[in-house]
Structure 1
Amino acid sequence: MSGKFIVIEGLEGAGKTTAIKTVADVLKQNRIFDLVYTREPGGTPIAEALRNLIKNGLDNEPLTAKAELLMFYAARIQLIDNVIKPALSKNQWVIGDRHDLSTQAYQGGGRQLDNQFMTILRENVLDGFKPDLTLYMDIPPGLGLKRALARGELDRIEQESLIFFDRVRNRYQELAQHDSSIITIDASQPLEQVTQMIRQTLKTWLIKHGNQ
């Protein structure tokens, strides 16, 4: 059975951690036990150092939008080449907490960076590599940020305006509509319903792809 790359996406407070656990549970129920977990940015020493800079910044130097974008891609290619691709080559299944869709939504939608520039960068860095399945946890920004704030202090990006996150969500929804490998989950529902929807969605996907 060949390994697959499954990614969980969504705004802050969308329940990605619970979704990752649910996906892992379903895979194990289907006798898929060799799992690798990743997060972005992060997952390698270099990528984790970049994560810290992206999340917290430096007090004496503002981080520009393009610099932020390039740091995400630097961290991403380190993770892909050093962790994800080697795992897939060994038929391991990789469950990712965020991937390139986040960059398209946050930097493309939220930061409003030039689409042509982002497309050229993505194509040259990723060279067509993408997840086999993405579960996009869709939630209104106000509700998501309320949940995120209840967890503790917000990081540099989480402190952006509600208008910023509206743009992010709109881009997420737009991209999901045009990519059959992205399945939208209504994350504003009660936890039990969200979990059930994830379970059913993944089970259906596994059957369709001959992994059950």
Structure 2
Amino acid sequence: MPNSDSRGGECHVATVSSPVEWDSNSLAIRKDMVILPPPYADMGSHRWTALYLVTPPLPAEIPAVRFDITSHDQGWCSDPQSGVWSWFEVSILRPITQDVNATRDHVPQITDLKSCPEDFTEVLQAQGLFFRTLPTNDEPGPGLHQVTQPLVRNRINRAWQSHTIIWRVGNLSEDGEGLLDLVQSGDRLAVWARAEVN
């Protein structure tokens, strides 16, 4: 029987060109704890997604972005084939209009929980944003697209774990670093906290 304690505790996103500039270039910080699945949830098989953090509009030509995430998974599971798995993903959110006055600097915190990031489409559109479609490694086909890129997977551990991920422009790789090449001025990065219960 799994313990349902998957937590996201802190996320810090910043533009960086050197470690010295880290504190002065913070884009967004959130230190609230999110528990997925929520304590009131039916523990049947289900996916849970929370929009954990959205950056303000990004400047043009950022050389790198650093993600610092503190989180942990449930800490134990008697059956390794079942339990709670948790991870974080990133999306690029683009403004619906390029009108500077119509774009808000701050997106209100969205506390809804849904099954997947795509289920937040209407909520984001109400904020004047839409998902930037991202390239996929799968064979091209009709309707094949993705709106998120994996950022980090939690390992089963009761202790809080710190994860630092740095993405640089021009580094094309399977771990998402090439996403910065797709970012335009005014885009935002969204960090999703996700968990799956089987």
- The two structures have a TM-score, normalised by structure 2, of 0.28
- The two structures have a TM-score, normalised by structure 1, of 0.26
Q: Which has the higher strand share?
A: 2
Q: Which has the higher helix share?
A: 1
